[in-house]
Structures are given as C-alpha cells and as structure tokens.
A = this chain, B = another copy of it.
Amino acid sequence: MAGTSSRPAAAPPDIDARLAMYRVMVECRTFEVRAQELFFEGLVRGTTHLGVGQEAVAAGFAAAMRDDDYSFATYRGHNHALARGTDMAGLYAELFGRATGLMGGKGGSMHITSAEHHMMGSYAIVGAHLPIALGAAWSAQYRKSGQVAVCFFGDGTTNIGAFHEALNMAAVWKAPVVFVCENNQYMEYTPIGAVTAVARPAADRAAAYDLEAIVVDGNDVEAVFGVAATAVERARAGDGPSLVEALTYRHGGHSRADPGKYRPDEEVKAWLARDPIPAQRARLRSAGVDAATLDTIDANVAAKVAAAEAAARGAPEPLPDVIETQLWADGGSSWRN
C-alpha cells in the first residue's frame, strides 16, 4: 500500500539505516516475546499490552526522528520506548515492579517513560496523549527549537473526543506534530469497523482537519520510514501537522490475559504471513546483505535482551518509603503541614 500523499517522498534510507531499523524491530520483538513468557512465569505483574507484529511503525518512525524529537505512546508503548533508545534493563525492571525500573516501579508497563530519550510517556487513558503531544509541539514551536512531536495511538482512539480536539487545534496552530494511528483493526475485543462510521478510522477523518489522507502499510518498515520522514520534515519546516494511518496487526491478544480468540483464524493467518520482521529480513537479503550479518544482529539482540532480563531479575524490590516521594517537584508528597 502506498501513501496517498502527493508530497515528494523523502530520500530512501541507506543500508546502515535499513539494518538499524531491522535491528530495532528485532529488539522490540525479542524483548516483548520474552516479556510475555515472564508474565506467565509470574515476574511481570499487572497487565502488559504487547506490540508484537506492530514493530515496523515504531522502528520506521524512530528512524525518521531527530534525537530531540518527542515521542508520545499508549499503554502499548514498549516498542516506541525501545525504538527511541530507552534502557532495556530499566524497562524489564519496571515491568517486574523493581526499584531499578525506569519509574522506580511507580508507573508500570502502561506508563513507560524515558524523558532522557524524549520518550515523553505512555498514556493509558485512550486519547489523552493527543492533546498533550500537541502541547509539546506548541512548546517546540514557541521555543523555535525545531523539535517535532510524534504521537502514536490506535484505531479505537479515533472515536474519542480528545482525538478531534487535538487534530483541529493542531491544524489551526500549524503545530509540528505527527499523529500516527496504528490501525491494528481492533479496539480491545471489538473490530474497529463495527463501531466506526468510516472504513479508514484515521485517514477518512483527515479532511475534517484540512489534512491529507495518508495510509501506509504499517508492516513495511521502509514504507513507514518514507511516510514518517515526509511528515516529520513537513512539521519541522513549519507546514503543520500530519495524520498518518498505518495498517498493521497485533499478533496476540489485546493484553496479556487475552488470547484474542474473537479474531477469525483466516485473518490471523493472513497477517502472520505479513510479519514485518521476516519481510524486512528478506528485503535486506535481496539487497545483498548476507545471512550472517542478519544472524549476528539477531544474536546480539538476544544477548542484550537476556542481559537486560538478568539485570532486572537481580534488581531489588522498591522500598515502601518511595511511596511518598516525587509527587511534587520538591521530591516529596506533603499536602499539609
């Protein structure tokens, strides 16, 4: 699927960039597949929402972003955090609820944040982060920093009010923000088509904000990169926001507890056959990359993930006295004298 964009495509990525995107996808996949196992082992508590199958969106966008561009993600945010360079041991530790977790065990899987990497948070109320990302873009615009905010969300999110408000205000303000709908075809258990008035939940709403309808194959990391680069540069140039709909699929259920049985077998099978990682591997192979190079990447990633897991496993539980810290900027949480 090509974007329907009429804007000139960005320059194609060179081979290093293509390998790097591959590596990011493998990192995400390896990290998350293992996280799911660790969930069943009882190490990951609460809930997790995996992006297995959707890695190309995270990898393609991250590759098109400047280091100081902002990412805003949902509870399904591990991929986006990792793609921006977030520390993997800290991420596992956060899923385990350990003291060395990215947020010291206070946030959990649904709220992964690495401000150091301009990964400005994972938001667990559907739609909330669209206005927030717009605000970061407004801030960049005001500060003339040249930064762009990229905001990832799901198809189901296109039906909530905050989506509408953020898109309109971003368009009016020509804010440097890229809204990326990862259309994985389902909200939780309900197919998006059953609850949405239009066929393309994001793209068919673009005109309502005087934006172009952009649809991209979200399982093709290079196609994503192309659309991302164009949208990010447009934003950086002061030409305003974009709304991108990336078609993709989650391999598993909505959250850790969901086997995803409501989905037709045929559909699942068809999408599994379009797994973005083997596809990119094949493309790199036909571009002349030898198998050993790719195998080395895979092995390096496996080692990195294993090391991260080990580090997190060895990390201590948080001490209860952190409970009353970091509510306020003074480090504490006192609300009265």
Contact = CB atoms under 8 A, between A and B. Distances in A.
Q: Is the interface of A mostly helix, strand, loop or mixed?
A: helix
Contacts of A164: 159-161, 163-164
Interface centre among A165, A194, A197 (most CB of B within 10 A): A197
Contacts of A207: 198, 204, 207-208
A196 B208 contact: no
A194 B198 CA distance: 28
The count of identical subunits is 2
Contacts of A161: 160-165
Contacts of A159: 164-165, 168-169
A195 B169 CA distance: 7
B165 A160 contact: yes
A271 interface: no
Contacts of A160: 161, 164-165
23 contacts: A159-B165, A159-B168, A160-B164, A160-B165, A161-B161, A161-B163, A161-B165, A163-B164, A164-B164, A168-B196, A168-B197, A171-B197, A172-B194, A172-B196, A197-B209, A197-B210, A198-B208, A198-B209, A204-B207, A204-B208, A205-B208, A207-B207, A208-B208
Given A160-B165, A197-B209, 20 more contacts: A159-B164, A159-B165, A160-B161, A160-B164, A161-B163, A161-B164, A163-B164, A167-B197, A168-B196, A171-B197, A172-B195, A172-B197, A197-B208, A198-B207, A198-B208, A198-B209, A204-B207, A205-B208, A207-B208, A208-B208
